[in-house]
Amino acid sequence: MSTLTSTGTSSRWRTIGQALTGLAAISALVAAGSAISDVTSADHTTLVVQTWRMYGLFLCGGLFVLLAVRPRVHGAVWALVILNKAALTVTTAAYLAHGGIAEAAKTVGWDGALTVVLVTAYLMSRADPTGRAKTAG
């Protein structure tokens, strides 16, 4: 009976973690879609930066989809996306402290929240109340 309860709890946590990662994927893909207009309206001084940003958002969206579908298989991908979002948050927080840097406050807010969501999703999707080793899947 205890094993069934533990397994059920583990499955519920994993499902919630996958849902959080799915929401992260949707938000990244929506942001990528909205970035298309930024690329098409960019002038020559920002065209490459806006294109880079758009492709990065599509990449993150795709990685988040992989993590939502198979959260226990892609440990290195978890590490990369969490570290990327945390680094962006810390860097833009430093820019925000400097003052006068465009988009810094918005980036700290969005990427900071996304970092918290990703860490939470990672922990939930890997949860195993029995303490047994995790298996792929």
Residue 23: both structure tokens together: 């929401």
Q: What's the pTM?
A: 0.84
Measured on CA atoms in the order 133, 73, 125, 86, is the torsion positive or negative?
positive
Query: Taking 70 as the threshold, does the pLDDT of residue 4 lie above it?
Result: no
Could you identify the residue written with the tokens 């849902």? 19
The pLDDT value recorded for residue 134 is: 55
The DSSP line for 63-125 is: HHHHHHH-TTT-HHHHHHHHHHHHHHHHHHHHHHHH---TTHHHHHHHHHHHHHHHHHHHHHH
Helical pair 104-125 and 2-41, crossing angle rounded to 10 deg:
150
Residue 112 CA, distance from chain mean position: 10
Residue 96: both structure tokens together: 């925000």
The pLDDT value recorded for residue 7 is: 62
Query: What are the boundaries of each domain within the chain?
Result: 8-125
Q: What is the pLDDT of residues 98-122, one digit of tens each?
A: 998 999 999 999 999 999 999 999 9
The pLDDT value recorded for residue 112 is: 97
The helices-and-strands tally (H runs, E runs) of the chain is 4, 0
